[in-house]
């Protein structure tokens, strides 16, 4: 069950809280230098410019109100997908509801601390994100989107969570745009 308590989101023994300036210098290493550099050096500027909103994931013991060191980081941005780029999946959107753009939220960055990888926490954070955007939804948001590294392991990680390619035009590019239809997540 997902509980929203002020700005905190509690889920399945974990808590997600907005990143704050007090956490710097940030101790975080996911093993990927581009992502490390973004979270250590660029993210606060992105926040100030209102380009992203970043949340920190911790393991959380609700009885003791005790949280673990930082486990993961996720940044969201508003997004939209042009209906003409969504042709391969347009049967999912009823004809009378077809606007030129489909409202979406982009998972702009996602990383799990190296020591905590391969434990299912990245998948849990994707599930939490789905619930986050369908629970008490303040604006219409139909899709989650992301640019995945075009690497079999990364792509299959997202596919196991129900993400799919938007189109085939980027199949030979460094990144592939993927989406998840939030109507698949019951409120
Ligand atoms: C990708 C990432 C977020 C997955 O988080 P996680 O908590 O390890 O994910 P889960 O435990 O739920 O799933 C792990 C599976 O994801 C796949 N995977 C995805 N990306 C991977 C990566 N960069 N390295 C290794 N495995 C990866 C593997 O199939 C792995 O399965 P395994 O544990 O049996 O080897 C995390 O590995 C990470 O932060 N990697 C570095 C940054 C990165 O590559 N981010 C993705 C940018 S698109």
pLDDT, tens only, 160-176: 999 999 999 999 999 99
pLDDT of residue 6: 65
Q: Whose CA is nearest to atom 21 of ligand 1?
A: 154
- What pLDDT band is residue 112 in, cutting at 50, 70 and 90? very high
Backbone phi and psi for residue 136, each to the nearest 5 degrees, phi listed first: 50, 45
Q: For a pocket test of ligand 1, which of 118, 156, 162 has the largest count of ligand atoms closer than 8 A to its C-beta? A: 118
Can you tell me the mean pLDDT for 5-23?
A: 89
Query: Is 108 near ligand 1, meaning CB less than 6 Å away?
Result: no
Q: For a pocket test of ligand 1, which of 153, 158, 163 has the largest count of ligand atoms closer than 8 A to its C-beta? A: 153
Q: Tell me if 81 sits within 8 A of 179, measured CB to CB.
A: yes
Residue 159: closest CA among 133, 175, 178? 178
Secondary structure of residue 81 in the 3-state scheme: strand
181: its two tokens: 């239809």
Q: Whose CA is nearest to atom 12 of ligand 1?
A: 120
For 146-155, letters b (16+ CB in 10 Å) and e give bbbeeeeeeb
Q: Whose CA is nearest to atom 35 of ligand 1?
A: 118
Q: What is the pLDDT of residues 17-76, one digit of tens each?
A: 999 999 999 999 999 999 999 999 999 999 999 999 999 999 999 899 999 999 999 999
Secondary structure of residue 5 in the 3-state scheme: strand
Report H helices in the chain: 33-37, 43-48, 121-134, 152-160
Token pair 């050096």 is found at 41
pLDDT of residue 97: 65
The full set of domains in the chain, from first to last, is: 2-184 (3.40.630.30)
Q: What is the pLDDT of residues 121-158, one digit of tens each?
A: 999 999 999 999 998 778 899 999 999 999 999 999 99
Angle, alpha carbons 141-142-145 (nearest 5°): 95
Give me ligand 1 centre to Cα 117, in Å: 6
- What pLDDT band is residue 7 in, cutting at 50, 70 and 90? confident
**What is the rounded CA–CA span in Å between residue 22 and residue 148?**
30
DSSP 28-80: ---S-HHHHHIIIIIHHHHHHTTS-EEEEEEEEETTTTEEPSP-EEEEEEEEE
């Amino acid at each position: 069950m997902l509980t929203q308590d002020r700005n905190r989101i509690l889920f399945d023994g974990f808590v997600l809280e907005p990143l704050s300036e007090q956490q710097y210098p940030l101790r975080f290493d996911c093993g990927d230098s581009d992502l490390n550099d973004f979270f250590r050096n660029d993210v606060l500027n992105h926040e100030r410019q209102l380009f992203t909103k970043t949340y920190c994931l911790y393991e959380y013991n609700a009885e003791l109100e005790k949280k673990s060191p930082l486990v993961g980081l996720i940044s969201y941005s508003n997004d939209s997908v042009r209906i003409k780029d969504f042709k391969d999946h347009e049967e999912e959107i009823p004809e009378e509801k077809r606007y030129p753009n489909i409202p979406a939220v982009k998972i702009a960055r996602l990383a799990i601390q190296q020591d905590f990888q391969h434990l299912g926490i990245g998948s849990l954070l994707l599930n939490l994100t789905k619930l986050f955007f369908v629970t008490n939804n303040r604006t219409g948001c139909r899709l989650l989107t992301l640019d995945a590294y075009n690497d079999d392991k990364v792509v299959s990680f997202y596919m196991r969570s129900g993400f799919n390619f938007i189109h085939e035009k980027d199949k030979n590019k460094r990144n592939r745009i993927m989406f998840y239809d939030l109507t698949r997540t019951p409120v």
